Chain A
Amino acid sequence: QTVVTQEPSFSVSPGGTVTLTCGLSSGSVSTSYYPSWYQQTPGQAPRTLIYSTDIRSSGVPDRFSGSILGNKAALTITGAQADDECDYYCVLYLGGGISVFGGGTQLTVL
């Protein structure tokens, strides 16, 4: 069974830069997995941030960027703001109609 891994939690200072990663339990993440990233604040539906590795969804500020770093997908937030404090999820497309979510990263801005 394929497991998508994310840091359970991360902390960043206001105005700072943080990179969250999305890996595979076995193997490397590449653009062929079409990594996408979603932001979820408590009590709200997810919001799409990034798709196809590095394409920002409509209305997403350019403080959010996606990439492949080494063998993982990455979401970088520059100039972190207080309202960036929430949960972030990555999704990898495994092919055959199957998608897998990572466990999510709880980001703290303090």
Chain B
Amino acid sequence: EVQLLESGGGLVQPGGSLRLSCVASGFTFSSYAMSWVRQAPGKGLEWVSTIIGSGGSTFYADSVRGRFTISRDNSKNTLYLQMNSLRAEDTALYYCAKRISGAGTAYYFDYWGQGTLVTVSS
């Protein structure tokens, strides 16, 4: 059974930093791309970032590029999101999602964690 467990959320002041983690189990972690998707309170879902299985390529939404860094430790089956220069508009529930990136066959999120809440406020 695939399980994704996020942690690391909390209250941080504007301009501050936070690192989110997502521990994965139930599949061969290193074989799959992983993503972060966020949802501001009462708002829709927003794709944030994706990293391929090897960690060799990363992709970011314009809204976070240059401030957030996605990474992974395949030896620990763990995905990370380092968030710097946080803004009030980064306040959201951050979901970790397993990503299917099929080289021209399929691109979608197939499993989701329950999320970790990040609040940026003074």
Contact = CB atoms under 8 A, between A and B. Distances in A.
Greatest chain B CB density within 10 A among A46, A55, A93, A103 is at A46
Contacts of A48: 108-112
B113 interface: yes
Contacts of B109: 36, 38, 46, 48, 91
* Majority SS at the chain A contact face: strand
A40 interface: yes
Interface residues of A, number: 26
B114 interface: yes
A99 interface: yes
Interface of A: 1, 34, 36, 38, 40, 45-48, 51-52, 55, 57, 87, 89, 91, 93, 96-104
Given A45-B95, A46-B112, A89-B45, A98 B59 contact: yes
Q: How large is the interface on B (under 10, 10 to 19, 20 to 34, 35 or more residues)?
A: 20 to 34
Contact of B46 (A36, A47, A98, A101): A101
A51 to B, nearest CB: 4
Given A36-B108, A45-B115, A97-B50, A51 B100 contact: yes
A32 to B, nearest CB: 9
B44 A34 contact: no
Contacts of B50: 97, 99
